Amino acid sequence: MYTKGWTFTMYHRPLPYVGITDFTHPEQVEQMLAIFKKSLAKHQLMVGVMMSYKTLHGLPTKWTKAFPPKESIADIFYSDDTYNCLHYADYKDYSIRLWENLSHVISYGGIGIHALQLDMIWPNPNAIWHSVHSSRKQLEVILQLNTNALAEVGDNPEALVNRLAEYEGIVHRVLLDKSMGRGLGMDVNFLRPFLYALSTKTPWLSLGVAGGLGPKTMHLLGTLPKDFPNLSIDAQGQLRPSGSALDPIDWDMARDYVVQALTIFR
Q: What is the pLDDT of residues 8-49, one digit of tens each?
A: 444 356 899 999 999 999 999 999 999 999 988 899 999 999
> Is the Cβ–Cβ distance between 259 and 253 less than 8 Å?
no
What pTM was estimated for this model as a whole?
0.93
Output the pLDDT for position 41.
83
Angle value at C-alpha 85, between 81 and 91, nearest 5 degrees = 170
Q: What is the pLDDT of residues 49-87, one digit of tens each?
A: 999 999 999 999 999 888 999 999 999 999 999 999 999
Residue 191 has pLDDT above 50, yes or no: yes
Output the pLDDT for position 91.
76
Q: The domain 17-265 belongs to what CATH superfamily? A: Aldolase class I (3.20.20.70)
> Is the Cβ–Cβ distance between 223 and 191 less than 8 Å?
no
- Pairing verdict, β 115-119 and 140-145: parallel
Domain segments of the chain as ranges: 17-265
Q: What is the pLDDT of residues 173-186, one digit of tens each?
A: 999 998 755 557 89
For 129-165, letters b (16+ CB in 10 Å) and e give: bbbbbebebebbbbbbbbeebbeebeeebeebbebbe
